[in-house]
Structure 1
Amino acid sequence: MNFEIISDTETLARVCEQARQCDAVMLDTEFVRTRTLYPRLGLIQLYDGKQLSLIDPIELNDLSPLWALLSDQSVIKVLHACSEDLEVFQHHAGVMPSPMLDTQVMAAFLGHGLSTGFATLVEEYLVVTLDKGEARTDWCARPLTQRQLEYAAADVFYLYPLYHLLAEKIRETGWQQAVSQECELICQKRARQPDPEKAYLDIKNAWQLRPEQLAVLQKLAKWRLKEAQRRDLALNFVVKELHLWKMARYKIRSLDHMIEEGFDRFEIERHGKRLIGMAHEADKLPSEYHPEPISRLVDMPGYKQLVKVVKDEINAVAESSGLVPEFIGSKKQINQAIKWAWVHDRSPDKCPDLLSGWRDELLSSRVMPLLDKK
């Protein structure tokens, strides 16, 4: 397994231009994220079947040849379990690899579990046991050891034959278009940016709050998200989620009250007065500016029964198609479909996954009549 470390723009441009002559290239990233909101990129692996390159983003100031490759529609970008890699590309490049195929998704269309790991597939299809001992390494540290470099290189070196084996089996089953649709759906979801105005909806137990309390939570959660983005700091390292909820729920409006409720000293020293000031501002909002109460599907009549019968239909489809039920329709996707029918008045802009793309062909005739029965 030979590889080249790329640390200058001229070599990167040459490697990427060569890769753009291929039908498909293998991609992977190594990154670190402990206290940061965004992943810190440590290494990018690229393999076109001939040239295996370990691209050093710490040494390189200009990665534009690689970003151009990601956008080249004539070259398929192949990844495994791509969600976090897509987040890396979206943040650092502002682009998604397109077109993109995920071998974990391909394996799911061949009957594997949705979260089947790369090492598991390599062992099954290539009869090779990978060393995963460097999985928790600090990829932003320099220099990287030979073992770390070989570990990183293996992820794309074995991805190449694995992809071609899976692609052949996918052609035999006729799922090619479905694979493309599912991978495109993943890219679309990862490209969406969080809406600061709706950040409060992600706070645990926000549904327990009254509209005037939600107004406080909304203002605080919006500020926390923007502060986290500005400082590149994980949300709970700005202010803990529970503490935002407590400020809204228990009307905490003093530093002493914060101490009583267990706020961290650093939270109080750095943000205490600002949080209290924003809470007071939200208290003054007229009721017409308060958010709507949060209604939970689980509290709606008939919800549990509907989930059960939808799951029964998904299980029946899974048995006939050979796909695992959770891949056809996860709990989250079932809830999305019910919310679309019961809360969003079947808005075309919010069409759920279960009734879109390849899932629509399998499930529409089974699920739509169930949604109609409310």
Structure 2
Amino acid sequence: MITKPAQLLALVDQAKSADAIALDTEFFWEHTYYPRLGLIQLAISGDECHLIDPLALDDLRPVGELLAHPGLVKIFHDAGQDLAILQRATGATAQNVFDTRLAAGFASLPSTLSLAVLVRELLGTDLIKTETRSDWLHRPLSAEQLAYADNDVRYLHALRLSILRRITKPQVKAWLYEELALYNDPRSYISDGSSRYQRLRAALSLPPAGAAILKRLFIWREETARASDKPRGHIIPDAGLLAIAHRPPEGIAELYSLGLSNQAITRHGGAIIALCAETSGIPEETAAPVEKPWRLSASEKESYRRLRDMIRLKSEMLGIDPGLIGNSDELRAVARFLLADGAFPAASLRQLSGWRMTFLKDFHPGRA
């Protein structure tokens, strides 16, 4: 276990001379906004795995040097959460990331396989995953935890090579690296929970003024949770924010009838009342409503059906997981856009740029 700064610096110097390193994290996430980092695993090869103890080290910036090194491949499995945790711990943004889970989707495999399933499928080895729910903040770690942690990085080098060997078409390999390059931007894996209100079915019935209050409430809660390092629901749960937006209170006393806890009212009642008063002054015509789901017309449904069929057939031919092209909502939006003569706003559709646009050009060459 790496517990001293000198040990960490020596390991980082050694890792910098490698072509690729494998990384993983173990963490504990209860009652906080941010996960608590409990362990960093780093494998220089399948035979050389190191465990870094972030509880014993005050400065993890040397690990950040590895993450930010553009010439060093960093191999993860399902990289997003690990990258977000490591960025906060080290202050560095990772570059040149290889995600074996994502990459499998370009190698005639599903892009959603767990590490254990992928290792068994490609390497014929069974991983024991009994320590997934362990307390990684407890010291000393058990022998079982240490073995589990080692195995989470031990096979990543071999997985990367096996996956790349399976991708025989240069175009598909280029698409893979284009998709992996998105990890160079932390916006691809660090989400902002302030927009979660758009996914709440109960928000659809709000008038524009109520929707404006709900949006402000979610932004306020996100900022409050982040600043206090408390889970969003520990500030005020979604149901409480919805109740406030449906019946905006003018005074503290009204909050008690909306199902909020006494503690939440004591701590945040004043801020909520002020926010509601401020937002209620916005002209209704300028308040953005919650986006309501739309239904496809008969012609759009046919376009959607043909689009799905083309994606399925072309994906099978190229060895790509069709789920990588887009989810059902995205593909419905693409089908609608292709029949809308540009009238349908599509700026946010990732299918209309990059490798996905190239993939879809056979479906509608005049538009994609």
TM-score norm. by structure 2 comes to 0.88
| 3-state SS, counterpart of residue 294 of structure 2 | helix
| 3-state SS, counterpart of residue 6 of structure 1 | coil
Q: 1:6 — aligned with what?
A: 2
Q: Which one of the candidate residues 32, 35, 39 is aligned to 1:39?
A: 35
Q: 1:87 — aligned with what?
A: 84
Deviation of residue 313 (structure 1)? Answer: 2.6
Q: Which one of the candidate residues 143, 150, 153 is aligned to 1:153?
A: 150
Q: 2:14 — aligned with what?
A: 18
Deviation of residue 266 (structure 1)? Answer: 2.5
Please say which of residues 255-264 and 275-284 is displaced more in the overlay. 255-264
Mapped to 1, the partners of 2:345 and 2:153 lie a distance apart of: 41
Superposition map of 1:249-288 within 5 A = 249-287=246-284
On the 8 A contact 1:247/1:253 being kept in 2, the answer is no
C-alpha distance 286-329 of structure 1, shift in aligned 2 (>3 A): closer
The answer on 1:361 being equivalent to 2:348 is: no
Q: 1:194 — aligned with what?
A: 192
Mapped to 1, the partners of 2:235 and 2:341 lie a distance apart of: 33
On the 8 A contact 1:86/1:187 being kept in 2, the answer is no
Q: 1:100 — aligned with what?
A: 97
Q: 1:68 — aligned with what?
A: 65
On the 8 A contact 2:101/2:112 being kept in 1, the answer is yes
Mapped to 1, the partners of 2:177 and 2:78 lie a distance apart of: 15
Q: Percent identity?
A: 29
Mapped to 2, the partners of 1:187 and 1:203 lie a distance apart of: 31
Deviation track 1:12-68 (CA, whole Å, cap 9, x = no partner) reads: 111111111111111111112222222211111001115311011111111111101
Q: 1:176 — aligned with what?
A: 173
On the 8 A contact 2:106/2:173 being kept in 1, the answer is no
> Which structure 1 segments of 5+ residues have no match?
none
Mapped to 1, the partners of 2:223 and 2:278 lie a distance apart of: 18
> Which structure 2 segments of 5+ residues have no match?
none
Cα-Cα RMSD: 2.8
One-letter code aligned to 1:24: A
Deviation of residue 262 (structure 1)? Answer: 2.4
C-alpha distance 262-215 of structure 1, shift in aligned 2 (>3 A): same
Mapped to 2, the partners of 1:177 and 1:64 lie a distance apart of: 32
On the 8 A contact 1:45/1:54 being kept in 2, the answer is yes
Deviation of residue 271 (structure 1)? Answer: 1.8
On the 8 A contact 2:193/2:222 being kept in 1, the answer is no
C-alpha distance 235-314 of structure 1, shift in aligned 2 (>3 A): same
One-letter code aligned to 1:158: Y
Q: 2:320 — aligned with what?
A: 323
C-alpha distance 52-97 of structure 1, shift in aligned 2 (>3 A): same
Deviation of residue 161 (structure 1)? Answer: 1.8
TM-score norm. by structure 1 comes to 0.86
Deviation of residue 300 (structure 1)? Answer: 6.3
Deviation of residue 345 (structure 1)? Answer: 6.0
C-alpha distance 266-316 of structure 1, shift in aligned 2 (>3 A): same
On the 8 A contact 1:200/1:222 being kept in 2, the answer is no
Deviation of residue 256 (structure 1)? Answer: 4.9
Q: Which one of the candidate residues 161, 165, 173 is aligned to 1:164?
A: 161
One-letter code aligned to 1:107: A
Deviation of residue 149 (structure 1)? Answer: 1.0
Please say which of residues 173-182 and 34-43 is displaced more in the overlay. 173-182
One-letter code aligned to 2:237: K
